[in-house]
Amino acid sequence: MSYKTILLVVGVSQFESDLRAAANLCASDGAHLSVLPIKIATLPPVGDFAAMSAAWLDERASDIEDLGRAVKEARNVLDGLGVSYDVVGRYAESMWLEHDLGERARYADLTVIGSSLRSDERLRAGVVEGTLFHSARPVLLAADLQSATLRPRKVLLAWNASIESARAAREALDMMRNAEGVNVVLVDPKPASGAASSRSGGEPGADIAAYLARHGIKVTLDRLPGAGRQVEEVLNQHALDMSADLMAMGAYGHSRVREKIFGGVTKAMIDVPVVPVLMVR
């Protein structure tokens, strides 16, 4: 789809690189950049000691000052970049962070998360989960936003026939249509049987490859063996081998709690995106 509003979520420090990269993304597509600097509110003290309450109020006041400086800094940077933009800060209570972010992201076509949030993993986790679970919008994650593009030459579509991967394929359709080539990648696929065979034709990946080809997309179907490796290892290595500019994938095919405890493909890709990753829930 065409992205007309892109949301960049940042903390209150060391975000200029992400800001400039997001502005470049918007400039390439004539999109509006909406910047959301966030500071998680300091939790109130336990107990009712006056000294503790005074210290808490002072800390909150300092947080709000930091947020105000971040908003001003972002506006100063963007003023000279020639893109349409708005910057609105948010002092977020931790228990409402995910819902607040999801609500804000509903008014953008895409949320972008770069490396600047690495300095605050608690905030980053809330941003990722809030935008994925509460916005109904895709999220673009990158270890370095300078490497991200909305016009990728080579795209890896991670496919496992789940609803989430189908949504990712639909969301990335325009980018795949304009790419030089798309590799649909399945790791350790199992041939369908019985009723499932009539739906998939018994050839894992064949239906999605045909669907994309009808949209004029140049498709290569890669069925890869895991060979004892984790799925995310296979996907990341293949993305590097094919020089992919973008990986598109569905997020959290398993429950979020299970992935937090035991790990999973989504968690691994969120933690260390080897190439820019477009995630859709």
The tens digit of pLDDT for each residue in 122-136 reads 999 999 999 999 999
Helix ranges (H only) for the chain are 16-29, 50-79, 97-105, 121-134, 163-171, 173-177, 195-200, 206-214, 231-241, 256-262, 265-271
The pLDDT tens digits of the residues spanning 173-201 come to 999 999 999 999 999 998 765 444 444 45
pLDDT at 151 over 70: yes
Look at the alpha carbons of 176, 182, 188, 191 in this order and tell me if their dihedral is positive or negative.
Answer: positive
- So what's the pLDDT on residue 255? 52
Q: What is the DSSP letter of 95?
A: G
Token pair in block for residue 231: 């799925």
Share of residues in the chain with pLDDT > 90 (%): 78
pLDDT at 261 over 50: no
86-113 average pLDDT score: 95
Q: What is the DSSP letter of 146?
A: G
- So what's the pLDDT on residue 153? 98
- So what's the pLDDT on residue 254? 53
pLDDT at 49 over 70: no
- So what's the pLDDT on residue 256? 53
**Do 116 and 10 form a contact (C-beta atoms < 8 A)?**
yes
**Local confidence band at 94 (pLDDT 50, 70, 90 cut-offs):** confident
Q: Are strands 110-113 and 139-141 parallel, antiparallel or unpaired?
A: parallel
- So what's the pLDDT on residue 117? 94
Q: How far apart, in whole angstroms, are the C-alpha atoms of residue 90 and residue 98?
A: 12
Q: How far apart, in whole angstroms, are the C-alpha atoms of residue 247 and residue 140?
A: 10
235-254 average pLDDT score: 92
| Mean of the per-residue pLDDT values of the chain | 90
| pTM score, whole prediction | 0.90
- So what's the pLDDT on residue 52? 60
Helix, strand, coil tally for the chain in percent (to 5): 45, 20, 35
Burial class of residue 20, CB neighbours in 10 A (0-12, 13-18, 19+): middle
- So what's the pLDDT on residue 55? 80
- So what's the pLDDT on residue 2? 83
- So what's the pLDDT on residue 47? 61
Q: How far is CA 245 from the centre of its chain?
A: 15
CA distances from 214 to 11, 132, 210, 217 (A): 42, 29, 6, 7
The residues, ordered by sequence, that sit 6+ positions from 40 with a Cβ below 8 Å of its Cβ are 92, 93, 94, 97, 120, 122, 123, 126
- So what's the pLDDT on residue 69? 97
Token pair in block for residue 77: 């940077």
- So what's the pLDDT on residue 197? 47
